[in-house]
Amino acid sequence: MSTIYESRYASSPQAVKKYDTKELRDEFLIDNLMQTDKIILTYTHYDRYIAGSAVPVAGTLKLETIDPLKAPYFLERRELGVINVGGNGTITVDGTVHKLGLKDALYVGMGNKEVVFASEDAKNPAKFYFNSAPAHTNYPTKKVSKAEANKLELGSLETANHRTVNQMIIGGIVTTCQLQMGMTELKTGSVWNTMPAHVHDRRMEIYYYLDIPQDQAVCHFMGEPQETRHIWMQNDQAVISPPWSIHSGSGTSNYTFIWGMAGENLDYGDMDVAKIVDLR
């Protein structure tokens, strides 16, 4: 079987306060992504969001439905966003082939019945990271290269958070039902992401960390602003961020992360900022 999935249920902030390290990691860390010739899925009950990966080497990988969806095919009532973080590859959507290079993105609308992942070179395979959220209507499938992303330059080297936010699957570039995705790249010498931290009660988020140098790590911070917790993370790992939680991190080197979110609104700026001096 080429598809492996698991379900995660939502947790209240009161319960998370009592979690030890293992419980915190078991609940929020996704540490099994990017397995060769497998599709890996984590279905979370936060906004029915799915995070997953596909690494086709020996052949193609088809995105198939899973039991929690109760649907004849994966995108019957869902939309999909994919970013390639490996070698050149293709995603064939109902017979139409879309080529994705390194850090290119593809949005796939609801109702497409067949999605097939492939690599151009098995020795340098594509590594597809994807997110999916429930959808109410079909919007056109669209590729977005990194060059076509809306770029925001944030932070500074003085505060160790100089970074480029590449908004890729977002309003103004791609029309979606609720899914948004992008990629934030930290400059050399900067280690803090999403600082000052914030929460957005009307949508949840998942971070996927990549480009972490060998023998380095990222410490991801979560929890309520006055009750924070941390999870140490490695390359190709993701972490679930509930709508009541901050989502920020600091690395022992600079790195990249892909953010994806869904929920009640599509306003990227809808957030409640927590002042740095108020974090606990």
How much is the average pLDDT of 117-129? Answer: 98
Neighbours of 126 (CB within 10 A): 28
pLDDT digits (tens, 9 = 90+) for 160-197: 999 999 999 999 999 999 999 999 999 999 999 999 99
User: Band of the pLDDT at 71, cuts 50, 70, 90?
Assistant: very high
pLDDT digits (tens, 9 = 90+) for 133-162: 999 999 999 999 999 999 999 999 999 999
Q: Is the pLDDT of residue 2 over 80?
A: yes
The token pair that represents 177 in the structure block? 């039902």
User: Band of the pLDDT at 211, cuts 50, 70, 90?
Assistant: very high
Q: Is 10 helix (H, G, I), strand (E, B) or coil?
A: coil
pLDDT digits (tens, 9 = 90+) for 56-70: 999 999 999 999 999
Which domain, by its residues, includes 176?
Answer: 3-136+144-278
Q: Per the annotation, does 205 bind a ligand?
A: yes
CA 115, 105, 240 angle in degrees (round to 5)? 85
The count of domains in the chain is 1
Q: Per the annotation, does 23 bind a ligand?
A: no
How much is the average pLDDT of 84-94? Answer: 98
Q: Is the pLDDT of residue 1 over 70?
A: no
Q: Per the annotation, does 200 bind a ligand?
A: yes
Higher pLDDT, 106 or 270: 106
CA-based torsion, 34, 39, 45, 48: positive or negative: positive
Partnered with residue 61 across adjacent β-strands are 117
Q: Per the annotation, does 220 bind a ligand?
A: no
User: Band of the pLDDT at 268, cuts 50, 70, 90?
Assistant: confident
CATH number for 194 = 2.60.120.10
Neighbours of 158 (CB within 10 A): 8
